[in-house]
Chains A and B, each alone.
Chain A
Amino acid sequence: MPSLRRAKPAATQPTPTGPDAPASSTPTGPDAPVPLTPAEVAAQRRRRRTGTLIATPGALYLLIFFVVPLGLITVYSFATRTATGRTSLSGWNLDSYERIADDVIGGIIARSAWLAFLTTVLCLVVAYPFAYYLATRPPRLRARLLVLVMIPFWTNGLVRIFAIRFLLGSNGPASALSEAMGLGTFRILFTPTAVVLGMVYGFLTFMVLPLYVALERMDWRLVEAARDLYASGAKAFWRVTVPLTRSGIVAGCVLVFVPSFGSYVVPEILGGAKTLLIGSYVARQFQAARNWPLGAALSVLIIVAMLVAVAINQRNSANAERTQGVAR
């Protein structure tokens, strides 16, 4: 057999790559457990080469349109704004970051966080019963209902938000209804309430889907076991169903909170002058105010907040796997 083994690599190595190729074919270090045969090494190298090849376009795209701009933003956040509104790439400083603590900007950040928090809680309260309903339907009905959930998601977001603006406007149906019922005119558009309503509508799908996935994977026999152990329906829900769908709850909250916090379109259209949020404020720095360093610093802040949320979510799903993985 040894002769056959030796013969193979020669046959399957039509393209020797560089002078270092043969060297790697005989790992002899102390921590090389079992030396690979030349055939195995060749196969391994082929696999690696194919992997690199198919990942290249995506990696290039992300590098050019994501990593590089992000790097530029970070660099700009340490730069200086000249008196004429230009950005001077010298005299690096932390001035922009210090300004974040200003009352005005701090207030905008706090308001953004508060509205994002409200949006997240409302989404959770609305989405949980709905996802529960979805997940407990017969499979065929489930698939149809899921498509219905996705349809608004596939519809142009701008169109949907303008539709809400019409609905809530002083000439809109909501106002007409309110007047017809003798409740007076309906003043909700251009208030924080309208922004939260719009964001709940816009991001509800992000909450429904992870909750649906968690509930769909739920082992309902555990609820039966709880009922058998003297838990009422409500107690079984709080003690078993909610903890076991925690990963879906956390994922949904992260997915709603992050875009709500940095939201730009919804507050621009539904919010008034009093509901300036961080997304719009950043846009203003890059456009009208021509203060790129400040806009960049705020952008970095938003990105850091997002990364923290993602880290929470990662830990959460790792936990869920550890505690529920085997018992399932």
Chain B
Amino acid sequence: MSDDAAPAATPPGVPAVEMHGISKRFGEVVAVDGIDLHIGDGEFFALLGPSGCGKTTTLRMIAGLDIPSEGRLAIFGEEVASLPPDRRPVNTVFQAYALFPHMTVAQNIAFGLQMRGIRGPDADRQVAEATTLVQLEGMEHRRPSQLSGGQQQRVALARALVNHPKVLLLDEPLGALDLKLRQEMQVELKALQREVGITFVFVTHDQEEALAMSDRVGVMSEGRLLQVGTPTEVYEHPANRFVADFIGRTNLLEGVTEGPSAMRLDAGAVVAAPNELAAGTPAALSVRPEQVRLHRHGEAPEGEPCLDGVITDATYLGHAFVYTIAVGPTAGAGGTNDGDRTATITARSETGSAALAAGESVSVSWTPAATTVVAD
């Protein structure tokens, strides 16, 4: 694993969150394994990874709900690794919200203020402001159980934001909402972050959500931070095979590098593939489905990397077709079971172009610049 989590393009100034060699072990299990990360002031930062990758533990360590086994953790320059959660300038929007069921909406929102000794008209005014900010006017006296999922989510946001934390931590805050509401809340949350100007650290397993909302993304797997970058960087230039596969859909064509500009694919061809790996390194060529162009058999344009194959499946999605194509020297002869010499490519094409059917022989091609060579 190349854990060159280079904190590239960290915004200048004192970082909102600064982690050096942060690890967390639960008994024998290493949940987080040596994370170095800077999150800039005012950034919308997403920690992205599959479940169990350590992203929630990382968030909990920033919140103070878990204490790191190793490493240094600072919030706006102040060392906090051993401080309890109530003495850190951060607040959390919990997964499933964790609203207090025995309190009304207003009491939930006022809780943090009360705990800091803010009461009376001053507290009332701040609660009212937060309620307005998340558009919950008129709901103040309801109980959480009387609210919809989306409304509960807003209460959780208001309950955290009313305290004007220096960093707001969000643990899969949209996970419990249905798709349509989730998409609306993505836009709203992003707008809210711009409005309040607070650093957001957002944990999600949904890569689309991470790409759509954040300024920068940190991709995690098995406790390690694999790549940190803008959504464009991690999508177009994944640092390794895991990131390429996890972020969006991609075709990974296995092979071996042959110098800095070419790669020999297991599927049979030597194709142009700019890379920085040593010659002879086993690697995969990542080609996004939308970058794959389909042609009638043998009609691929000269000079582009291309492979011949057979369509094994065509799926109509309304706005596009998705084709699955078996490529490789034996694919045309119906030898799609020849695992060593055959690869499967997924391609998308707009519905306007002529539809192709399963069984047709085709050629696929792509622009080398649109691909990335990734190693393990």
Contact = CB atoms under 8 A, between A and B. Distances in A.
B65 A323 contact: no
A147 interface: no
A230 interface: yes
Contacts of B86: 227-232
Interface residues of B, number: 28
Interface in A235-282: 235, 239-240, 243-244, 246
A284 B139 CA distance: 60
29 contacts: A219-B98, A224-B85, A225-B99, A226-B100, A226-B111, A227-B64, A227-B84, A227-B85, A228-B94, A229-B86, A229-B91, A229-B115, A229-B160, A230-B115, A230-B163, A231-B86, A231-B111, A233-B84, A235-B115, A240-B100, A244-B102, A322-B145, A323-B143, A324-B101, A324-B102, A324-B145, A326-B144, A327-B99, A327-B145
A226 B65 CA distance: 11
A139 interface: no
B315 to A, nearest CB: 40
A229 B100 CA distance: 12
Interface residues on A, range: 20 to 34
Contact of B100 (A222, A227, A246, A326): A222
A48 interface: no
Contact of A328 (B64, B101, B111, B160): B101
A228 B85 contact: yes
B63 A228 contact: yes
Given A224-B65, A225-B94, A229-B86, 10 more contacts: A226-B100, A227-B65, A227-B84, A228-B85, A228-B92, A229-B91, A230-B116, A232-B115, A324-B145, A325-B145
Interface in B90-121: 90-92, 94, 96, 98-102, 111-112, 115-116
A144 interface: no
A239 B108 CA distance: 11
Interface of A: 219, 221-222, 224-233, 235, 239-240, 243-244, 246, 322-328
A326 B145 contact: yes
B159 interface: yes
Contacts of A233: 84
A240 B86 CA distance: 15
B144 A327 contact: yes
A228 B111 CA distance: 11
Given A224-B85, A225-B92, A324-B101, A231 B145 contact: no
Given A227-B65, A229-B159, A327 B143 contact: yes
A323 B102 contact: yes
A243 B102 contact: yes
B101 A327 contact: yes
Q: B-side binding surface: helix, strand, loop or mixed? A: mixed
Nearest to B144: A327
Contacts of B146: 326
A244 to B, nearest CB: 6
Contacts of A324: 101-102, 145
A236 to B, nearest CB: 8
Nearest to A223: B98
A126 B314 CA distance: 70
Q: Which are the 9 A-B pairs with shortest beta-carbon distances?
A: A326-B145, A327-B101, A229-B112, A230-B115, A225-B98, A324-B101, A227-B85, A327-B145, A221-B98
A244 B101 contact: yes
B164 to A, nearest CB: 12
Contact of A222 (B90, B98, B143, B145): B98
Most chain A beta carbons < 10 A, residue from B99, B111, B144, B163:
B111
A7 to B, nearest CB: 46
Contacts of A224: 65, 85, 94, 98
A324 B99 CA distance: 10
Interface string B155-174: 00001100100000000000
B170 to A, nearest CB: 12
Contacts of B100: 222, 225-226, 240
A119 to B, nearest CB: 28
Nearest to A239: B111
Contacts of B111: 226, 229, 231, 239
B84 to A, nearest CB: 7
A285 B64 CA distance: 65
Contacts of A325: 145
Most chain B beta carbons < 10 A, residue from A222, A225, A326:
A225
Interface in B65-102: 65, 84-86, 90-92, 94, 96, 98-102
A324 to B, nearest CB: 4
Contacts of B152: 327
A226 to B, nearest CB: 7
A317 to B, nearest CB: 14
Contacts of B160: 229
Most chain B beta carbons < 10 A, residue from A221, A224, A229, A328:
A229
Nearest to B117: A230
Nearest to A242: B102
Contacts of B91: 228-229
A18 B86 CA distance: 73
Contacts of A221: 94, 96, 98
A146 B102 CA distance: 29
A235 B96 CA distance: 23
Contacts of A219: 98
B112 A230 contact: yes
Interface in B113-162: 115-116, 143-146, 152, 159-160
A176 B111 CA distance: 53
Contacts of B101: 222, 244, 323-324, 326-328
A169 to B, nearest CB: 47
Contact of A231 (B90, B92, B115): B115
A158 B192 CA distance: 68
Contacts of A235: 115
